[in-house]
Chain A
């Protein structure tokens, strides 16, 4: 199912997608295939959900403000509380994790005042305390995520 070209596209273009008028042609040239081959392969990867999109990762807290939030929710209420949280457009990721703090979500808003008001509303509506864990420093230096397709 995944061809050698699919794997190259997955591993080699996470970080520096060509910023030229014809990025897919540039990729095609470096792989020795046609632009149509590259476009088709990206469409296949997207259709099969191997990639979510070709897009950008924005540095946290440079545009708008964001915070990670954790809640400790009884297991039997987790789905209903998660549904309440997910309904807010300011929430992007919302995950269950194995911990006494079992609901983890990331929120983003245009400024801190607004962010705090939404968090207060979520606390009121859910009945649970929201532990805010905003980013203080980002030490990440790895470039992209290298997949191991062999094992």
Chain B
């Protein structure tokens, strides 16, 4: 589905697009590709859904969105898709994921992320979400983020040889 050049392209893009007139030509120079081929390949990777989005990656904290809560719910397996669909519609929900439960110590399967300007606002939005999605009887926990120890853009390295992965 994707080849080694696609992987290299994705890796280069992790560092960000240069603020120059022809940024895709600049990426192409580093990979010996034409500007046109870079654009065609990136468009294809977006269509395939491998690139979820291409654009400005904002720093929420710096923009005043200092409160970040990961909310975890223990939702019945038969209802999870329906509830997730509902939860994802709220504009203040940034992510909505299904993850495995881990026994009694961690009985939660549905995760959503809410960014807000402060804790009170986030909790208000969560109350609204819980009541409108009919989740008031569902066990949940709210995990606000506190200290960030590490955050970096690079999430993938095309370090392996062609065809090896």
Interface residues of A (CB under 8 A from B): 9-10, 13-17, 19-25, 35, 39, 42-43, 45-46, 48-59, 62-64, 66, 68, 70, 82-83, 85-86, 89, 91-99, 101, 104-105, 108, 110-111, 131, 133-148, 151
Q: Closest A-chain residue to B165, C-beta based?
A: A110
Q: Is the CB of A19 within 8 A of B39?
A: yes
Question: Interface of B with A (CB < 8 Å)?
Answer: 2, 7, 10, 13-17, 19-25, 35-36, 39, 42-43, 46, 49-60, 62-63, 65, 70, 81, 84-85, 87-89, 91, 93-100, 102, 105-106, 115, 117, 141, 143-157, 159-160, 165
Q: Which residues of B contact A17 (CB under 8 A)?
A: 17, 54-56
Q: In the complex, A39 Cα to B145 Cα: how many Å?
A: 33
| Residues A53 and B16 in contact, CB atoms below 8 Å apart | yes
Q: Which residues of B contact A83 (CB under 8 A)?
A: 149
**A-B contacts, 13 listed (Cβ < 8 Å):** A15-B54, A19-B39, A23-B17, A24-B21, A52-B16, A55-B16, A58-B50, A66-B155, A85-B149, A95-B145, A96-B146, A131-B102, A145-B58
Known A-B contacts A22-B22, A48-B62, A92-B152; the reply to A145 vs B7 at CB < 8 A is no
Q: Which of A49, A66, A96, A141 contacts B62 (CB 8 A)?
A: A49
Q: A16-B54, A58-B50 are in contact. Are A53 and B153 (CB under 8 A)?
A: yes
Which of A10, A51, A91, A143 contacts B150, CB < 8 Å? Answer: A91
Q: How far is the CA of A151 from the CA of B154 in the complex (A)?
A: 33
- Closest B residue to A87 using CB positions: B150
Given A101-B106, A140-B94, A140-B97, 17 extra CB contacts under 8 A: A24-B21, A45-B56, A48-B62, A53-B15, A59-B49, A85-B149, A86-B150, A94-B150, A98-B143, A131-B102, A136-B99, A137-B84, A142-B88, A142-B89, A146-B91, A147-B63, A147-B65
